[in-house]
Amino acid sequence: MIETNAHIVIVSSEFPPQPGGIGNHAYHLAQHLYEHGYEVCVITDERSKLGEEERAFDGRLPFRVDRIKSKSWRFLMYLRRIATTFKAVRHAPYVIATGKFSLWNVALCSVFCKCKILAVIHGSEVNFKSVLLRKSVDMALKRFDAIVAVSRFTKQLVSHLKRDVIVIPNGIDLRRWAVEEDPEISLKGTPVLTTVGRISERKGQMHVIKHLPELLKVYPDLHYHCVGISTEMPAFKSVAEDLGVVSHVTFHGVLDEARLKQVLAGTDLFVMLSTATERGDVEGFGIAILEANAMGVPAIGAKGAGVEDAIADGRSGVLIDGNDAQAFVRAVSMILEKKGAFKKQAYEWAEEHQWRALVQRYVGVIEGGDASLRSE
């Protein structure tokens, strides 16, 4: 560890053990900044009813996490967020805000502090359809000393601000995703297609289901496995039933990490045909793609979202128009025909996104380092 003695506060709208890409990113950023020699404190919400799950998780961390308990009166929770953040940042030289509530929170607190503030933007928090919300986010972002976007797609969502936005892609810890062979684990289907993420319009599982009739003409034994929070699963299953493909789809729900790795190890193709929702929810990057790549699983993703930055087209996978069933069939065939090459290249692509390298770029931005870090 490098002894810097510098204090960094990370204010995040999400944080493990609860699911979410923003929380995943904040956790790894905090961990690797700590390992780089910084004193780190995380401010985030407590999502579980009793907080026991969070306390157990936080107790294993080498840095401090301050959780804001949820309140039935949202206004009181917002005030507590501001108060807790202000108390933490008033003497900190550096503050990082990640997630929509955090942007407003830190921007407000910065009025009364002299810290350097950095915004990390992911996608949906800068893509509100409400004019009022978008204007409020724009006003908040204008107060930040630096802005980091996790993809070129996310960067263009704030191009109207005329700010110098640095692109630092999402990262992965390869140590966590080492392949674990288990001969007893096998998944239904040949080939096996998998999506990991909340069952939702944004993640694109519906597109895959709607394309299955065309895919099954070429691959009659194909099976699609959906892993993730399944609150919207009944609607998706209903569409699969209407299309006559429900026997080729399995909804696994949320899996623990060991079982998730087993599913990925048995997967031929990872799929994320993400799409923007009417509310403006978008996929800013797609970290689940890199996690699959780390296990040698190539991916098929949709153009027009942050997924474009998560896939090296023709190398770690293939990018397609998510609405085009025939393009999907061609992409599946292309990867399966060259599965060995795609498998190797997918792993190499994941290697290029290791957090230990990416954190150096964050340090450069935090400490006002080489201007080349800002050219993306």
SS3 of residue 365 by DSSP: helix
pLDDT in tens, 276-300: 777 777 888 989 999 999 999 999 9
The pLDDT assigned to 47 comes to: 79
Q: What is the spatial distance between Cα 181 and Cα 173, in angstroms, rounded to a whole number?
A: 19
Q: Where are the domains of the chain?
A: 7-171+354-374, 175-351
Q: Give the chain's count of helices (H) and strands (E).
A: 14, 13
Closest alpha carbon to 294 in 257, 252, 255? 257
Going from the C-alpha of 335 to that of each of 205, 227, 271, the distances in angstroms are 20, 22, 12
CA dihedral for 252, 255, 261, 262, sign (positive or negative): negative
Q: What is the spatial distance between Cα 277 and Cα 236, in angstroms, rounded to a whole number?
A: 16
C-alpha torsion angle, residues 293, 299, 301, 307 (rounded to 10):
10
User: Dmax of the chain from CA atoms?
Assistant: 63
pLDDT in tens, the chain (376 residues): 334 457 899 999 899 998 888 999 999 999 999 999 999 999 998 877 777 889 999 999 999 999 988 765 666 777 888 888 888 888 889 999 998 889 999 998 888 888 899 999 999 899 888 899 999 999 999 999 999 999 999 999 999 999 999 999 999 988 888 766 554 567 899 999 999 999 998 899 999 999 999 999 999 999 999 999 988 899 999 999 999 999 999 999 999 888 999 999 999 999 999 887 777 778 889 899 999 999 999 999 999 888 999 999 999 999 999 999 999 999 999 999 999 999 999 999 999 999 988 999 999 999 885 433 333 4
Closest alpha carbon to 160 in 144, 137, 183? 137
CATH code, 175-351? 3.40.50.2000
Prior bond of 191 cis (ω within 30°): yes
7-171+354-374 folds as Rossmann fold (3.40.50)
The pLDDT assigned to 278 comes to: 75
Which residue is listed with tokens 């890409």?
Answer: 21
Q: What is the spatial distance between Cα 63 and Cα 84, in angstroms, rounded to a whole number?
A: 17
- Which H or E element spans position 192? strand 192-196
- Which H or E element spans position 74? helix 74-89
The pLDDT assigned to 180 comes to: 62
Computed on alpha carbons and rounded to an integer, the radius of gyration of the chain in Å comes to 21
- Hey, do 7-171+354-374 and 175-351 end up sharing a CATH topology, with the first three levels equal? yes
Q: Are 153 and 306 in contact (CB under 8 A)?
A: yes
Q: What is the spatial distance between Cα 301 and Cα 270, in angstroms, rounded to a whole number?
A: 8
Residues 6+ apart with CB under 8 A from 77: 68, 69, 70, 71
What b-and-e string marks burial along 95-120, b requiring 16 or more CB atoms within 10 Å of the CB?
bbbbbbbbbbbbbebbeebebbbbbb
Q: What is the spatial distance between Cα 248 and Cα 188, in angstroms, rounded to a whole number?
A: 9
Q: Would you list the DSSP string of 121-145?
A: E-SGGG--SSHHHHHHHHHHHTT-S
Cα-Cα end-to-end distance for the chain: 29
What is the reported pTM?
0.88
- Which H or E element spans position 86? helix 74-89
Q: Are 171 and 151 in contact (CB under 8 A)?
A: no
What b-and-e string marks burial along 199-229, b requiring 16 or more CB atoms within 10 Å of the CB?
bbbbbbbbbbbbbbeebbeebeebbbbbbbe
Helices (H), 168-324: 205-218, 233-243, 257-265, 287-293, 307-310
Averaged pLDDT score across all residues of the chain: 89
The pLDDT assigned to 370 comes to: 42
